[in-house]
Structure 1
């Protein structure tokens, strides 16, 4: 038995005569594990020449030749036979097990024909559905008749932010998303907003008459002021400059201004800069045919989001620093009715209004005393943003966001109900395309229903603040649906320059689908035509603005208008279905369909094609315009105030940064043309470079708490290129507010921000170096 064990040991442990190496590929951290198998020879080594048989010849009695050579006795032969049988059994079992494992994998394939084509699968090389088929399929899903029930379901008389009506609508939206098979979630925030006094009232007293308006402006300063009334037209900067040029003192005055042209917040901020004490805002009948007694509601926070958590998300567990937004006004502000405003205006003395303002009214003098009292109260509200997502099949972690506010001051049919209905219908249509028609978007689509939009995009901004670090790396665009239908005779678009080509394509497609709609004749042909007719700047009170200027996400907002005017019932209790139907000649559902087509075309294009269709050269044009303007003003300052700026201050580096950005943008366009778009990773790298452009225009040198809209081209604050031009104008005029050292600092930081954006756009650091050479 000992000899049997020795023989078995030699078979499994002895040195092999030959071996075979093969690979077993395993999915363990991407490595390939190599297993080496050694096969032993069945042949014994020759006795002579290697000494293997010498150690067996230890018996002094010599055996016959065969027995001597093999070292075998009858007893030993029995042991050998038993060992051989044992080896045979073990080998048989090993072979059986190996053979069985090899048979397991293909068992399911025995029923498949050997000549059957492999199943089609998404590789990133091409969509499973042609783009023309996607457009046609989507167009078939949207129709005016489908909006009737949705608009009716989401119409509500009272859904102010944080109210039971607002929460009920949130539950309806998320229930719809779940019905469509979407993944859903809820984002809860605790925000501070300012509401009218729960007991008591706001009031003003003029010429012995007391008035108590029920409309209000959230985030106004509170208290009581006495002053003299001064009429300031629309409260624009140009209006105040004109008054100052007439040597009219604005300090301590209560300014009466008309609603319109700019936001309530901008009017109050402009008045505060002129050291006014308070602002009264009224809807002039020539601008707002809404009746003499209609109250106005709004806010005056020069920013967005909860102003008591600037730069921070208002989650319940957040530890808030004891700060307030720099955009909160320090003066009183109050809306009044048209009848109240015109009554005050008729009783003013003083100088005549400027001819350019029209009318025969007077500006007011020192005898026109007024007392204003604002008693608004600060309250904390729980609000809910609700979401649904259609996940992409290639880059699921990259997504376009489509959003609409859900709340309103009153009925809010045009301001929120129509947008919410379009949001839900888009979710239904695209979900159905994915589930039943074989559409497979490469990237994801997130549908968002915001609350507290009327207080200054509070819900949307708090979401951005809460997830900023991930959103600006993954969300590549935002489409805003607030107030999209306010008329039928005009159309306006405000967007990031990166999205202009997408907008132009959508306009052409929607025009083709809706030839009978007269407003589309204004689009014309060519970029200059449509931009001159429908394009406008993205304003701070637009919900898309914080996405663009705060988060660096390319955004677009659009709306149908009554013509050259605005929908007059926004921010009033008269924003009802009947009034919107009257202004649109009963075409609300038809216009909602067209708005859905426009939104859907842009969103589907972004999630379907290999490469995001962003137009990088448009920012090159904008940078060039600013650089030339700054250069001209810099030369003017050197000529008129040569002692103010250092002699070594030069435009050379700014012009160089502009040129680097232009070359990087054109190089990326060439990279797209020359790249293999069948390569998923290549497409992802290119798209990430495109996505970084907007984000890199956010100045890293200013605090998001002090200057939340950090975009140097489209933002707001002293860091912007527009502010550099204005600062040079102040230096040229030797204005005491101008600061040459501050300008030099801002100039250097803006230059490097543009250069940094160009560096990122170029891709790898060696790509930039090669491009420069």
Structure 2
């Protein structure tokens, strides 16, 4: 009887529903609306009927009223009878269809649907089949059981459908497609790959867009090569470092290991001012090595690969860049659009000294001149000449967009760089291959499997990545005001495969829980039934997996410049946390296959599943998968170190007018705001769109509001007070001993934390200093 009543009620209720078909390029924009008439709308209808300006065409009276009542009762009986029989027939058919169809947890699909409805964070919107499309065009009021349609309705089903789309054979084909001889930024090879990407986005019927920038890239001067001269001999290295200072200097050669601060501290008795530092590649970025050398007064840096660290050809040239930043360093904070006029400003991350790469054999010759690496200095007549030139270069960012069905203006970006110094197989070819397979897989989920994601997903192919995430940063600088409140997360695909048997990742704390859960769902690269999470170790996975995000990571400007939660991950060889062939001609398919024990395609399938499942969670769930609790593990540690430092300076009388309790109060505000946000999540029906959107918008403000509003994007582009770079960060303040500067920066940092807390708690008129 309950089923009969439900059937009748569904037939009588007025349901406003419009189908959302797949939008094609030649069709106008359409929108989805699924809405039950609420009390306000019903009141409007009632008022319309009572209005003096509203008159029906005919108002029956007398016998007409009796006839009308009789027909209404008769109609109700007919509807009741038809509904009863239809309900029973449909139920029997659906039970016969669903019996024995068990999902992964052993429930029937019908039970799974019920369970999924209760778990509000894993419910998706689904679309009708083509036949039902036609039927529903006739009757918009029809509501069909999704389980009967055979459309996936729970997370396990949808994620397995996605996983099954990634195959070894597909990646073999992709590698052949994107393995080109050379693709420097803006070259014909780069443009060829960009066209391949754009054409496939069009073939997939994604919304396609190309973002063009005109940037200054520093390249070698073909007429005047760079030259190294010592003891009357000279050699002209083939490799070079983009964004080096140019000119000619002579100085004493000093060996400085990896160029880290601790390496330079060990050489305090060695005169470094005016020296030419010989530094090994590895441990930190090229730009950091040069910046550390410049801080010690060096006039030039020579970088070389040590054969004990990496299996190089001893004469292999090495390429890279030394801009301690990202984007076009000659338009810092501004987009490099064509014909735009900006002030002649240089990035603060540009080095003021010369930098050049040399081969291992050349380095050994120099080391012999100074008596080996243990004898740090000796040669006094080494000369370095760098003649690099700036070239105005057109670069393309290529996008394909799969529009969401409920919150299309919220989107997740998945991206990979497209250019490389040479073949660039590990970063550019593999990353682009994974990007395109993800685009195809998600399109298939929507078109063939009838999955309807809530949010949009953007597939991005970046230009000029080798020069310091130039394409990605210029995109952010150009459209930050449009995207920073709507871009949910950035997932980086550069270098996802660097080896086999290990795994590392760099991510915003907001994404640590998503990363952990995804690691539990993806198989171990070593085979067997264990998960990636089991392989790295359950109890201390964070210590083994998580690494600080490097400035050369394409995800870094999204996180530290734009305040967008971002993540990069890499399958590695245990004990080796880098792919040693980056920036060389040896970065090819054969070397990467060797690094993965001939399991390259299988490893790439795992990487695609890893990125795909994270993206699917982010566009699928009612509640965006951002866990603010994880910042409660990061903020207290950073504040504690700074508090101890400030308290000591206050006690010693070096810092006046400052109270360490400023930090305690800011920490307390952040804690209370986080607690209140968690309560709001628990008390909100996340299946109700307005409530879900309100909560999600609060979650999306957290990262953005940890950017300091008090620093210039020209001088300090990475404004994040925890993950950024500069004097404004909590880590830098914990080492600052300048009373005046520390006083000011401490006030700014404290208020940044409190503003972040205020943004989490409520709207401004409801805040009332609650935190």
Bucket of the pairwise TM-score, normalised by the shorter protein: 0.7 to 0.9
Equivalent in the alignment of 1:546? 557
Please state if 1:287 is matched with 2:298: no
Identify if the C-alpha distance between structure 1 residues 491 and 524 changes in structure 2 by more than 3 Å, giving closer, same or farther.
closer
Equivalent in the alignment of 1:678? 687
Equivalent in the alignment of 2:190? 166
Equivalent in the alignment of 1:364? 377
| Cα drift, residue 645 of structure 1 | 1.0
Equivalent in the alignment of 2:468? 456
Name the SS of the counterpart of 1:342 in structure 2: helix
2-side partners of 1:514 and 1:184: how far apart?
Answer: 38
Equivalent in the alignment of 1:328? 350
Q: Could you tell me whether the CA contact under 8 Å between 1:486 and 1:584 is conserved in 2? A: yes
Name the SS of the counterpart of 2:209 in structure 1: strand
Please state if 1:752 is matched with 2:763: no
1-side partners of 2:439 and 2:647: how far apart?
Answer: 54
| Cα drift, residue 276 of structure 1 | 0.9
Counterparts in 2 of 1:757-768, with a 5 A limit? Answer: 757-765=756-764, 768=767
Equivalent in the alignment of 2:733? 724
Please state if 1:149 is matched with 2:173: yes
Equivalent in the alignment of 1:710? 719
Counterparts in 2 of 1:266-285, with a 5 A limit? Answer: 266-285=288-307
2-side partners of 1:592 and 1:38: how far apart?
Answer: 66
Identify if the C-alpha distance between structure 1 residues 274 and 770 changes in structure 2 by more than 3 Å, giving closer, same or farther.
closer
2-side partners of 1:24 and 1:541: how far apart?
Answer: 54
| Cα drift, residue 278 of structure 1 | 0.5
Name the SS of the counterpart of 2:707 in structure 1: coil
| Cα drift, residue 678 of structure 1 | 2.0
Identify if the C-alpha distance between structure 1 residues 206 and 34 changes in structure 2 by more than 3 Å, giving closer, same or farther.
farther
1-side partners of 2:314 and 2:536: how far apart?
Answer: 39
Q: Could you tell me whether the CA contact under 8 Å between 1:182 and 1:389 is conserved in 2? A: yes
Equivalent in the alignment of 2:214? 190
| Cα drift, residue 663 of structure 1 | 1.5
2-side partners of 1:176 and 1:517: how far apart?
Answer: 35
Please state if 1:234 is matched with 2:258: yes
Counterparts in 2 of 1:431-442, with a 5 A limit? Answer: 431-442=443-454
1-side partners of 2:307 and 2:480: how far apart?
Answer: 43
Q: Could you tell me whether the CA contact under 8 Å between 1:491 and 1:519 is conserved in 2? A: no
Q: Could you tell me whether the CA contact under 8 Å between 1:488 and 1:519 is conserved in 2? A: no
Equivalent in the alignment of 2:11? none
Q: Could you tell me whether the CA contact under 8 Å between 1:710 and 1:716 is conserved in 2? A: yes
Please state if 1:482 is matched with 2:494: yes
| Cα drift, residue 242 of structure 1 | 2.1
Name the SS of the counterpart of 1:178 in structure 2: helix
TM-score (norm 2): 0.81
| Cα drift, residue 605 of structure 1 | 0.5
Equivalent in the alignment of 1:380? 392
| Cα drift, residue 767 of structure 1 | 5.1
Identify if the C-alpha distance between structure 1 residues 522 and 248 changes in structure 2 by more than 3 Å, giving closer, same or farther.
farther
Identify if the C-alpha distance between structure 1 residues 132 and 765 changes in structure 2 by more than 3 Å, giving closer, same or farther.
same
2-side partners of 1:551 and 1:291: how far apart?
Answer: 40
Equivalent in the alignment of 1:530? 541
Equivalent in the alignment of 1:645? 655
2-side partners of 1:165 and 1:504: how far apart?
Answer: 38
Superposed CA RMSD: 3.2
Please state if 1:340 is matched with 2:362: yes
| Cα drift, residue 312 of structure 1 | 0.4
Q: Could you tell me whether the CA contact under 8 Å between 1:523 and 1:533 is conserved in 2? A: no
| Cα drift, residue 264 of structure 1 | 0.5
Q: Could you tell me whether the CA contact under 8 Å between 2:502 and 2:536 is conserved in 1? A: no
| Cα drift, residue 764 of structure 1 | 2.1
| Cα drift, residue 515 of structure 1 | 4.1
Name the SS of the counterpart of 1:141 in structure 2: coil
Deviations 1:721-766 (A, max 9, x none): 0000111xxx3xxxxxxx2101100000000000000111112236
Identify if the C-alpha distance between structure 1 residues 27 and 586 changes in structure 2 by more than 3 Å, giving closer, same or farther.
farther
Q: Could you tell me whether the CA contact under 8 Å between 2:243 and 2:323 is conserved in 1? A: yes
> What residue ranges of structure 2 are gaps of 5+ in the alignment?
1-38, 61-78, 91-112, 127-152
Identify if the C-alpha distance between structure 1 residues 740 and 430 changes in structure 2 by more than 3 Å, giving closer, same or farther.
same
Correspondent of 2:696 among 682, 687, 697: 687
| Cα drift, residue 716 of structure 1 | 0.1
| Cα drift, residue 238 of structure 1 | 1.4
2-side partners of 1:679 and 1:424: how far apart?
Answer: 34
Correspondent of 1:250 among 268, 272, 275: 272
1-side partners of 2:293 and 2:305: how far apart?
Answer: 18
Correspondent of 1:599 among 604, 608, 611: 611
Equivalent in the alignment of 1:398? 410
Equivalent in the alignment of 1:101? none
Equivalent in the alignment of 1:697? 706
Q: Could you tell me whether the CA contact under 8 Å between 1:162 and 1:383 is conserved in 2? A: yes
- Higher Cα Rg: structure 1 or 2? 1
Equivalent in the alignment of 1:296? 318
Q: Could you tell me whether the CA contact under 8 Å between 1:552 and 1:698 is conserved in 2? A: yes
Equivalent in the alignment of 1:199? 223
Equivalent in the alignment of 1:583? 595
Q: Could you tell me whether the CA contact under 8 Å between 1:310 and 1:323 is conserved in 2? A: yes
| Cα drift, residue 317 of structure 1 | 3.4
Equivalent in the alignment of 1:563? 574
Deviations 1:268-293 (A, max 9, x none): 11111111101000101111211210
1-side partners of 2:636 and 2:266: how far apart?
Answer: 31
Identify if the C-alpha distance between structure 1 residues 226 and 414 changes in structure 2 by more than 3 Å, giving closer, same or farther.
same
Deviations 1:54-113 (A, max 9, x none): xxxxxxxxxxxxxxxxxxxxxxxxxxxxxxxxxx99x9xxxxxxxxxxxxxxxxxx9xx8
Please state if 1:627 is matched with 2:639: yes
Equivalent in the alignment of 1:654? 663
1-side partners of 2:50 and 2:583: how far apart?
Answer: 72
1-side partners of 2:48 and 2:714: how far apart?
Answer: 51
| Cα drift, residue 700 of structure 1 | 0.1
Please state if 1:36 is matched with 2:52: yes
Name the SS of the counterpart of 1:449 in structure 2: strand
1-side partners of 2:291 and 2:55: how far apart?
Answer: 88
Q: Could you tell me whether the CA contact under 8 Å between 2:519 and 2:531 is conserved in 1? A: no
Name the SS of the counterpart of 1:714 in structure 2: coil
| Cα drift, residue 516 of structure 1 | 3.0
| Cα drift, residue 483 of structure 1 | 1.1
Q: Could you tell me whether the CA contact under 8 Å between 2:367 and 2:373 is conserved in 1? A: no
2-side partners of 1:224 and 1:327: how far apart?
Answer: 21
Please state if 1:181 is matched with 2:192: no
Counterparts in 2 of 1:394-433, with a 5 A limit? Answer: 394-433=406-445
Name the SS of the counterpart of 2:490 in structure 1: strand
| Cα drift, residue 535 of structure 1 | 1.3
TM-score (norm 1): 0.81
Q: Could you tell me whether the CA contact under 8 Å between 1:664 and 1:761 is conserved in 2? A: yes
Q: Could you tell me whether the CA contact under 8 Å between 2:424 and 2:588 is conserved in 1? A: yes
Q: Could you tell me whether the CA contact under 8 Å between 2:419 and 2:466 is conserved in 1? A: yes
Identify if the C-alpha distance between structure 1 residues 523 and 674 changes in structure 2 by more than 3 Å, giving closer, same or farther.
farther
Name the SS of the counterpart of 1:633 in structure 2: helix
2-side partners of 1:770 and 1:318: how far apart?
Answer: 44
Q: Could you tell me whether the CA contact under 8 Å between 2:241 and 2:321 is conserved in 1? A: yes
